[in-house]
Amino acid sequence: MNLFLYTSTVLLWGTTWIAIHFQMGEVPVLVSAFYRFAIAGLLFLPALMLLRGVQKTTLRDHGFFVLQGGCLFSLNFICFYTASQYIVSGLISVVFSAAVLFNALNSRLLWGERAERGVYLAAALGIAGLISLFWDSIAGGNFDRTAALGLGLSVLGTYFFSLGNMVSVRHARRGLKPWTCNAYAMNYGALILLACIVASGTSWKLDTSPLYLGSLLYLAIPGSILGFTAYLSLVGRIGANRAAYATVLFPIVALSFSAWFEGYQWTALSFGGLFLVLLGNTVSLGGLRVIGQWRLRFEREKIPL
């Protein structure tokens, strides 16, 4: 089940990058993000109610649902979408991979949990791999004040995402299922986005082209309802530290789609980066521990290698 949830998260979130690219245009970022989570929330919660899949919750739980909605379904996306106006999306993906480190730090600060030995090694390998993959974009960037703003927003958005993971850990410890939490939190996130639209005086627009509407529905249903439910289920099963490594791997899927739709060219450095990311993935999922266990077995049973 863990492998299924992990693979689902990587594939679903990896394909949302190209869908987000199709959302850029005449519709303001705040409005597009609101459409996405309003659709997701208004579909998800009533469906669960009809299927009697909504758990009983307390007022305190709803306070944390609001916090989750702010961290996972509104404020982080405001940061990422705005950052994309200042720096290339590949660099944002590199920054987002730091969620592994933020989760390890926040788990220690908020829950008193020590990170597993391989988490930091996995994070280092993954980030090094992504830097290699996107080196041309990074090296060619113009790191002026606007680029610094974009970088700062990317870091802030990633930290919001990590805080949302910590809220999800709280839910899991209380026995709350991800679908109940997400259904409420997405609606709260949409309300936060609506408040931002009203407060900022952002104009309402809707692109009725099939490309925009199709990508919007993909982001709302597979990208949000299914993707976040799979990811937060993984958080509840294996912990935020190891689950967050999906944020390092899913840009590989996004990069493959970029090669089809945006003409990305693979190089030796790109393939080297891919190898580092996959190696980090193996470490994060306990691959080194498994290898060590097999080695001990071989030594004890004197099985020739």
Q: Model's pTM, two decimal places? A: 0.79
- Per-residue pLDDT reduced to its tens digit, 186-225: 999 999 999 999 999 999 999 999 999 999 999 999 989 9
- Per-residue pLDDT reduced to its tens digit, 220-248: 999 899 988 888 888 778 777 677 777 66
pLDDT band for position 294 (cuts 50, 70, 90): very low
Percent of the chain exceeding pLDDT 90 equals 34
DSSP collapsed to 3 states, 206-273: CCCCHHHHHHHHHHHHHHHHHHHHHHHHHHHHHCHHHHCCHHHHHHHHHHHHHHHHCCCCCCHHHHHH
Q: CB count, 10 Å around CB of 42?
A: 15
pLDDT band for position 103 (cuts 50, 70, 90): confident
Tokens of 298: 């071989």
Would you give the DSSP letter of residue 144? S
- Per-residue pLDDT reduced to its tens digit, 49-100: 998 888 999 999 999 999 999 999 999 999 988 887 777 666 677 777 778 7
**What is the mean pLDDT of the segment spanning 33-50?**
93
Average pLDDT, rounded, for the chain: 81
- Does 305 have pLDDT greater than 80? no
